[in-house]
Homo-oligomer: A and B are copies of this chain.
């Protein structure tokens, strides 16, 4: 595959010239989504070359129970698979009876653009078919932000050098399989279908989970921009409905199809209403009309960009990259449905099962909280609050008692649905991230009531888990936490992972503090919480014991906390001494070799120091950064951003910029040779953090919003906006200094480079 084939452009992702080797990568990079559904950038017309066809619907999954070899006691009942959904975009084209297939034609021109400003995918190409007949094709497609069950396609064909019959065959196909299915298992059952007057609908349901989905299409056609009525031929099988419209065309004529399509599903409609709901949604789209729907798309994205945009002057490639990240995050999650969450690959691939990970709490919440509003962040917290019961059940399965909760590592509905013991059972630090997210939200928004109304219950359940999960070592005379996997998944089943222990201790302290606070400030609510959770005094007493006597591995010699017990027994050779041919190690080395090596997949001790920067001196942070960063191979997409932010805080501008590039263009430049599998959506929030918390130096410790902006040498300027407690603040930085605009009606106190500053509405403060 050719790396770096994407052309630089401030607002667009651009591919010029057709290269079959790039097709699957581009299908990922040009993906579309509207928060409720999404799809890879597959061609509408037939493509017989290598392709990865994928359409996905938010919340819809399949509980796969395939087993191999050995199954550990306590394993989840199923592994959640994100399901490839029916295809509604397909339009087969034939030219004088020959199928148009880019893989089989001579492609004279090819241009594909993802217009991030407008939220639209454009493609134009000129193809010469066998025999020399040449056609020009133009397709525009978007998934409506206004009507989130609808997508629209405008697809035009113009014969260039011949007169003859062109036929358009749009279809819906509910017979789509997953790439990762064993034995070609089909995860859907087709229930019924209807078709009438250029509209077709297929009702299907997922096996086992029984999500019902109605897939629909509605067709309109124009010849040279005039509406025409062509008789359709209908070809109908159980899983597929296909129309064919034939037209005799003159050279230079343009035949255009408007195809409205999409899904309605049973999470949002009664099952028996789905046919009607689907018809209504497409009729609404058609009544609005293609052009006006397009207009509404532009407006919706303009609203998003108004606060979410980050500008970078002087580095077009960096500008393109940051917008790409922000665009994809907004395509994946719109924040208005607390049943949905942010899958690591969003709607762009099957991997990671489309499920929810701790990525949301650790990386995504700050992005949505700052660029949308606190309700969106609150919805993400409520997602976990609503699943507390399942988290308690999950902990019970593992032998915990008395209302202790262990949130799942991977979930669709609150149940654990991952099946590696070293992750599912041992990567328990995620439980701490749930509490960190509450702290982060409350700290940022000031919404203390959330703790009283919801957060405290979660904190108690998680504190119970940590207190039961630590055990007393007679040898060390300390509490220890044995058998865990830290954020660095290149270590499994280690003892006393510092990050996990630190987070555990903090969760216990934070729960105790908040219990005290609520007791004083909300005595009635306090009683309700005690009542509901059954919390006893001796529990809190034990929590205090664990807080006091928890063990943290430390090296006197290196003056650093150790990632885990025994870390210094490894051969501590810096990662840059490894031959290039052995990188990335997760593709070149066997698992045991990785495990006994010192190499760190993603920030682990440093992740803790990032979360709790205010607990450590800059000197301490620097020692740890210098010890761990050289051993870090950044083979998780979530790694470079944290290092970039810390490097900024330490004034290591060059390292910060190096790490920033890795995070921001991870997918566009395909650093890890895997973009064809889908995009790294959750890490895109990390890229945003790299600018706002990294270069921008934004912090929010002890109730004060502060900034400490620096700028990479080769940028002229950058700017970003954040929403903060009812204010919208724009930060601009160039090599002369920085400016702060307060776009809101009331003044706000901020700290810039250690100085307190009050900025009034529409005020411009230059420092």
Q: Which residues of A contact B (CB under 8 A)?
A: 64, 66-70, 72-75, 79, 182-183, 185, 397-399, 418-422, 425-426, 471-476, 480, 482-483, 492-495, 565-566, 568-572, 586-593, 595-596
Also in contact, A483 and B398, with CB within 8 A (given A79-B69, A419-B68): no
Q: A68-B66, A73-B590 in contact; A495/B566 too (CB < 8 A)?
A: yes
- Within the complex, the shortest CB–CB distance from A619 to chain B, in Å, comes to 24
When C-beta atoms are compared, the residue in chain B nearest to A428 turns out to be B592
A590 touches B64 (CB 8 A): no
Q: B419–A593 contact, CB under 8 A?
A: no
B566–A566 contact, CB under 8 A? yes
A492: chain B residues at CB < 8 Å are 492-493
A185 CB contacts on chain B under 8 angstroms: 183
Given contacts A471-B571, A482-B570, contact A592 B421 (CB under 8 A): yes
Asked whether A399 lies within 8 Å of B568 as measured between CB atoms, the reply is: no
Beta-carbon contact of A73 and B591 below 8 Å: yes
Q: Name, among A69, A420, A421, the residue most crowded by chain B CB atoms within 10 Å (CB to CB).
A: A69
CB distance from A421 to the nearest CB of B (A): 5
Given A66-B66, A68-B419, A493–B182 Cβ distance below 8 Å? no
B586/A73 in contact, CB under 8 A:
yes
Question: Which residue from B397, B422, B596 sits with its C-beta under 8 Å from A483?
Answer: B596
In the complex formed, the residue of B with least CB distance to A557 is B475
Residues of B within 8 A of A495 (CB): 566, 569
Complex CA gap A494/B421 in Å reads 15
Q: Which B-chain residue is minimally distant from A423 (CB atoms)?
A: B70
Point out the residues of chain B lying under 8 angstroms from A75, CB to CB: 591
Residue of B nearest to A353 (CB): B69
A422 CA to B482 CA, complexed, in Å:
17
Inter-subunit contact A70/B420 (CB<8 Å): yes
Assess whether B482 is in contact with A569, with CB atoms less than 8 Å apart. Answer: yes
Closest 5 CB pairs of A and B: A74-B590, A425-B592, A483-B596, A482-B596, A475-B568
Query: When chains A and B are docked, how far (Å) is the Cα of A182 from the Cα of B64?
Result: 11
A73 neighbours in B (Cβ, 8 Å)? 586-591
Q: Are A590 and B68 in contact, with the CB atoms below 8 A?
A: no
Task: Determine whether the beta carbon of B182 is less than 8 Å from that of A473.
Answer: no
Please give me the residue from chain B that is nearest to A80 by CB atom: B69
> Which residues of B sit under 8 angstroms from A480, Cβ to Cβ?
569
A570's closest neighbor in chain B, by CB?
Answer: B482
The reply to whether B595 and A473 contact each other, CB–CB distance below 8 Å, is: no
Which residues from chain B contact A74 at a C-beta distance below 8 Å? 589-592
Contact B183 A592 (CB under 8 A): no
For A590, give its contact among B397, B570, B572 (CB under 8 Å). Answer: B397
A596 B182 Cβ-Cβ under 8 A:
no
Distance between Cα atoms of A74 and B593 in the complex (Å):
10
Chain B nearest CB, measured from A735 CB (Å): 45
Neighbouring B residues of A483 by C-beta, 8 Å: 592, 595-596
On chain B, the residues within 8 Å of A569 by CB distance are 473, 475-476, 480, 482, 495, 565
Identify the closest chain B residue to A492 (Cβ): B493
| Nearest-CB residue, chain B, relative to A418 | B69
Question: In the complex, are the beta carbons of A182 and B67 less than 8 A apart?
Answer: yes
Contacts of A473 in B (CB 8 A): 568-570
Cross-chain pairs A/B with CB under 8 angstroms, 6 sampled: A67-B182, A69-B419, A70-B420, A398-B593, A425-B592, A473-B568
CB <8 Å contact, B493 and A595: yes
Which residue on B lies nearest to A494, using beta carbons? B493
A472 to B571, CA, bound (A): 7
For A64, what are the chain B residues with a Cβ–Cβ distance below 8 Å?
68
Known A68-B79, A566-B565, A569-B480; contact A425-B591, beta-carbon cutoff 8 A = yes
Q: Report whether A399 and B70 are in contact in the complex, using a CB–CB cutoff of 8 Å.
A: no
A411 to chain B, nearest CB (A): 14
- How far is it, in angstroms, between the C-alpha of A664 and the C-alpha of B590 when the chains are bound? 40
Q: How far is the CB of A717 from chain B (nearest CB, A)?
A: 43
Partner of A182, one of B182, B571, B586: B182
- A399 CB to nearest chain B CB (Å): 5
Residues of B within 8 A of A399 (CB): 589-590, 593
Question: In the complex the two chains form, what is the Cα distance from A586 to B185 in whole Å?
Answer: 32
Given contacts A182-B183, A482-B569, A570-B482, contact A421 B591 (CB under 8 A): yes
A67-B68, A73-B590 are known contacts; what are 6 more A-B pairs with Cβ within 8 Å? A69-B420, A425-B591, A471-B571, A473-B570, A476-B569, A495-B566
Q: Are A474 and B568 in contact (CB under 8 A)?
A: yes
Quick one: which of A75, A475, A565, A590 has the most chain B CB within 10 A? Answer: A590
The CA of A169 and the CA of B23, in the complex, are separated in Å by 60
Chain B hits for A494, CB < 8 A: 493
Give A523 Cβ to nearest chain B Cβ, in Å: 38
Complex: how many Å from CA A185 to CA B569? 47
User: Could you say which residues of chain B place their CB within 8 Å of the CB of A476?
Assistant: 569
Q: How far is the CB of A698 from chain B (nearest CB, A)?
A: 36
**Closest chain B residue, CB of each to CB of A493:** B493
Question: For A69, what are the chain B residues with a Cβ–Cβ distance below 8 Å?
Answer: 79, 418-420
Instruction: Choose among A66, A397, A493, A588 the residue with the greatest number of B CB atoms under 10 Å from its CB.
Output: A493
**A591 contacts across to B, CB distance below 8 A:** 72-75, 421, 425
A398: nearest residue on chain B (CB-CB)?
B590
Smallest CB separation, A189 vs chain B (Å)? 16
Cα A571 to Cα B474 with chains together (Å): 8
Neighbouring B residues of A397 by C-beta, 8 Å:
590
Answer whether A66 and B182 are a contact pair too, CB < 8 Å, given A421-B592, A476-B569, A592-B426.
Answer: yes
* Complex: A73 Cα to B398 Cα, angstroms: 28
Interface centre among A66, A492, A495, A591 (most CB of B within 10 A): A591
A471:B183 contact, CB within 8 angstroms: no
CA of A480 to CA of B588, assembled, Å: 24
A79 CA to B591 CA, complexed, in Å: 17
- Min CB distance A183 to B, Å, is 5
Q: Shortest beta-carbon distance, A79 to chain B, in Å?
A: 5
Most buried by B among A495, A587, A596: A596
Residues in B whose Cβ lies below 8 Å from that of A472: 571
Q: Which residues of B contact A590 (CB under 8 A)?
A: 72-74, 397-399, 425
Q: For residue A78, give the distance in angstroms from its CB to the closest CB of chain B.
A: 10
Distance (Å) between the CB of A72 and the closest chain B CB? 4
Of chain B, the residue at the smallest CB distance from A181 is B183
A570 to B426 alpha-carbon distance, docked (Å): 16
Bound CA–CA A544/B340 (angstroms) = 61
> Distance in Å from the Cβ of A459 to the closest Cβ of chain B?
23
Q: Which residue of B lies closest to A473 (CB)?
A: B569
Chain B residue contacts of A475, Cβ below 8 A:
568-569
Which residue of B has the minimal Cβ distance to A397? B590
Across the interface, which residues of B come within 8 angstroms of A482, CB to CB? 566, 569-570, 595-596
Residue of B nearest to A482 (CB): B596
Q: In the assembled complex, how far is the CB of residue A653 from the closest CB belonging to chain B, in whole angstroms? A: 33
